[in-house]
Amino acid sequence: MRISEDLARAATVFICVTVVLSTLTYVALTPRPREEFFQIYVLGETRMAERYYPGNNPNIPAGQAVKWHVGLTNFMGSIQYVAIRAKLGNSTIKAPSDVDHTPSPAPMLMDFRRVLMNNETWEFPFVWMIKEVRGNGDVVRIAVLDLNGVEIRNGEVSALKGRNFRIIFELWTLDPESGNEVFGWRAGAERRVAWLQVWFNATSPRPT
């Protein structure tokens, strides 16, 4: 009678502890669902959120180099292929849409691509300079732009008196289903986008 009582108690303890430890092991080994997102940012020449323009003057003359730092951090929980597309826009060109998840129709200046590990931050310099400005009455067009040492000819984007140009940064990723680059990313059933823009005015070259 004594043995069976002890045995019953021990069996109860064993079963209870096994259930608890199995649950704990399962919870510890199962990856927790977490929010999947990217963080994109543009910093000024001092690598801080300031001094985006030389002398803090947004009127950029031709021949004046502007230095920014563009960064992206991957919090998607997995390795990701990303592309940051830099576009030149004005105040009338449509901005990317957070609602429809459509990119801006502005002409692309350059795209920067990379494969990022989870939690990895990628930062690169973005040095640009207006090389040639053409005017037609009040309408000013940035004809040639130098971006990271590459000369880019642009024939489409112009602005009244050279005001309110903008450089748009869009985040594109590789869609694993289609195998194509898509604007934004898929987080579960949701679709998300990330983009930034910095405004500036283009002015005539400084007199030498």
Q: Which residues bind other proteins (CB under 8 A)?
A: 6, 9-10, 13-14, 17-18, 21-22, 25, 28-29, 78-79, 81, 113-118, 150, 174, 176
6 vs 138, beta carbon nearer other proteins: 6
176 vs 205, beta carbon nearer other proteins: 176
Least Cβ distance, residue 79 to other proteins (angstroms): 5
Q: How many other C-beta atoms can be found within 10 angstroms of the C-beta atom of residue 173?
A: 21
42 vs 174, beta carbon nearer other proteins: 174
Is the CB of residue 60 less than 8 Å from the CB of residue 66?
A: yes
Helix, strand and coil content of the chain, in percent to the nearest 5, comes to: 15, 50, 35
Least Cβ distance, residue 15 to other proteins (angstroms): 8
For residue 54, the SS3 value is helix
Residues 6+ apart with CB under 8 A from 119: 73, 74, 75
For residue 199, the SS3 value is strand
Least Cβ distance, residue 38 to other proteins (angstroms): 16
Least Cβ distance, residue 157 to other proteins (angstroms): 20
Least Cβ distance, residue 18 to other proteins (angstroms): 4
100 vs 177, beta carbon nearer other proteins: 177
Return the structure tokens found at 187: 């987080």
Return the structure tokens found at 173: 């990723």
1 vs 28, beta carbon nearer other proteins: 28
17 vs 160, beta carbon nearer other proteins: 17
For residue 36, the SS3 value is coil
DSSP line for 78-117: S-EEEEEEEEEE-SSSPPP-TTT-----SPEEEEEEEEE-
Return the structure tokens found at 88: 């030149």
Q: How many other C-beta atoms can be found within 10 angstroms of the C-beta atom of residue 197?
A: 16
Least Cβ distance, residue 170 to other proteins (angstroms): 17
